[in-house]
Amino acid sequence: MSHVRGLTCRECGRAYAAEALHACEFCFGPLEVSYDYDEMAAAVSREAIAAGPPNLWRYRELLPVGEGDPVSLGAGFTPLVRADRLAAELGLGELWVKDDTRNPTGSFKDRVVSVALTKARELGFKVAACASTGNLANSVAAHAARAGLASVVLVPSDLERVKVLTTAVFGGQLLAVEGNYDDVNRLCAELASDYPDWAFVNVNVRPYYAEGSKTLAFEVAEQLGWRLPDHVVVPVASGSQLTKIDKGFRELVRLGLVAARGGHEDDPAGPVRISGAQPEGCSPVATAFRAGADHVRPVKPDTIAKSLAIGDPADGWYALEVVRRTGGALGSVSDAEVLEAIRLLARTEGIFAETAGGVTIATLARLAREGVVRDDERVVVYVTGNGLKTVEAFSDTVAPTATIRPRLDEVAEALGRSGFLGAGDHEREAR
Ligand SMILES: *Cc1c(COP(=O)(O)O)cnc(C)c1O
Ligand SMILES: [Zn+2]
C-alpha cells in the first residue's frame, strides 16, 4: 500500500496531490514526494524487506507507488563489495564499492526509471519520454518496452555510440538532437507542455523518478547488516541522486530500521557524511562548494564523462546544501584522472566502470589525499555505470600487451618485453 501523502514544494511548503506535477504553481520550486511516516513505520520491518524480491522492489513500502505489478527488469539489490585492495592503494580503511554497473541496462538509472514508469503507468500514461545524457535513454527505452509503453527519447547527437545503439535496439523513438544536454533538456521542458499525455521521467514525473535513488541508501544499510556507513561518495550530474541518498538514510533512521548515530546538532537524523564527485569539465556544484557560494552558476560542459555533463543542474543547490549539512565535500577531477581511476578500480577489484565511475573513484582518491575521507571511516563509494558503454574513452589508452604469432618463443619474448617474465624465465624458456 502506498504511504504517499502528496507532493510538497521544497521552497514554500505548499501541498499538492500526488499527480504528474513537478513545479510549484506559486514559486516554481521543485515538488517532492511526502509520506505518512507513522503509517509507513507500522508497515515496514527488516524481516519483511528481507523476504522481498532480490531487487529494489523489496523497499516498495518506502516508494511512492500503489498496488499492482511494478515495471521492472530486476534493477537494484546490486552487490556491495568490500574493496580492500583499492582501500590499500588509497590509504583508506574500511571501503565498500556499491557496484551499480550490474543493473539491467548497466547503470543506476534503471532504479529511477523502474519507479518512474511504475508510477506513470499507475497514472494512466501510455507514452514514456525523457531527455538524457545516455544512460537514462537506455533505461527508459528498455523499461518502456518491458511495460508495453511507447517511448520517445531525446539525446545529444554527440553521445557515445554504444549508448545510442543500446537505446535504439528497443525500438522506441530516438531523437538525436544537435546540441548539448542542457539544450535537449530545454526542448523537453517545452515538449512536456505540448504533450501533456506523455510521461517525461525527468520532467512531469520527476518527483517519483527521484525517489528511486533512495534505494541506493536502503541497500547499502541493509547490506552492511542494517548499519549506516560513516561517509559516502556520490557522482553528481543533476544532483538528484545525491540528495535522495541523504533522504534515504534519514528515512531509515526515522522508521527505526537503523540506529541513529548522532549527527550534527541541527541534523540529528543525518549522520552519514555525503561527498560529491564531478568532472572538472562540468563541475558547477563543486565550484560553488569551493567558492563558498550560495548559488550554482551554470557552465558549458566539456568532459569525457558525458553521463555527468549537465551544465545547469536542477538539484545542484540542494546537493550543495546536503554536502554542507552533513560535513562532506565536493571535488572535481580531470579527464586523465578519470581514465586512470577506471583502470585502478578494474585492476584492484575487477569492476569495469564507465567514465562517471572513474570520476567518483578519482574524487574519492583526491578526498582521501586531502584527509576529507578518513581511514577510520566506514566508506561507501557509488559506482553507477558500466564501462562497456564508454569504451571510446579508452581506445587510446588500453591495448593488448602484444600481438604475436602462435609460437612459444614469441610468448616468452613478448612477456619479457612487457617485464612480466624476467631474464631467468627467458633462459628456462630457451632450454
Ligand atoms: C545520471 C547519472 C548519474 C547522476 O545522476 P543525477 O541524479 O542526475 O545527479 C551518475 N552516474 C551515472 C552513470 C548516471 O548515468
Ligand atoms: Zn512553492
Parse the chain into domains and list their residue ranges: 1-43, 80-106+211-394, 400-431
pLDDT, residue 396, reads 79
Ligand nearest to the backbone CA of 31: 2
The answer, yes or no, to whether any atom of ligand 1 lies below 6 A from the CB of 78, is no
User: Is the Cβ atom of 237 under 6 angstroms away from ligand 1?
Assistant: yes
Q: 24: which residues sit within 8 A by CB, 6+ positions away?
A: 9, 11, 12, 14, 16, 30, 31
Q: φ and ψ at 114, to 5 degrees?
A: -60, -45
Class of 80-106+211-394 in CATH: alpha beta
Q: Is 307 in the pocket of ligand 1 (CB under 6 A)?
A: yes
Report pTM: 0.94
Contact between 408 and 122 under an 8 Å Cβ cutoff? The reply is no
Give the residues of the chain that fall short of pLDDT 70.
262-270, 423-431
**Ligand 1 centroid vs 308 CA: distance in angstroms?**
6
Q: How many CB atoms lie within 10 A of CB 427?
A: 10
Chain centroid offset of residue 223 CA: 18
pLDDT for res 431: 46
Strands 4-9 and 15-16, bridge-based pairing: antiparallel
- The residues pairing with 188 across neighbouring beta strands, listed in sequence order, are none
- For ligand 1, atom 10: residue with the closest CA: 235
Contact 123, 115 (CB under 8 A): no
Residue 240 Cα: closest atom of ligand 1 = 7
pLDDT of residue 394: 79
Residues 301, 152, 103, 329: is their CA dihedral positive or negative?
Answer: positive
Ligand nearest to the CA of 131: 1
CB neighbour burial string for 45-75, b if at least 16 within 10 angstroms, e if fewer: eeeebeeeeebbbbbbbbbbbeeeebbbbeb
Residue 347 has a pLDDT of: 97
Q: Give the Cβ contact number of residue 226 at 10 Å.
A: 14
Which helix (H) or strand (E) element contains residue 367? Answer: helix 355-369
Dihedral pair phi/psi, residue 90, rounded to 5°: -95, 0
Q: Give the model's pLDDT for residue 399.
A: 87
Per-residue confidence (pLDDT) for residue 161, from 0 to 100: 86
What is the CA(336)–ligand 1 centre distance, in A?
20
Determine the Cα–Cα distance for residues 236 and 327; give it in Å rounded to an integer. Answer: 17
d(CA 149, CA 155): 19
Q: What is the pLDDT of residue 270?
A: 61
Place of cell 569551493: 290
CB 64 near ligand 1, within 6 Å: no
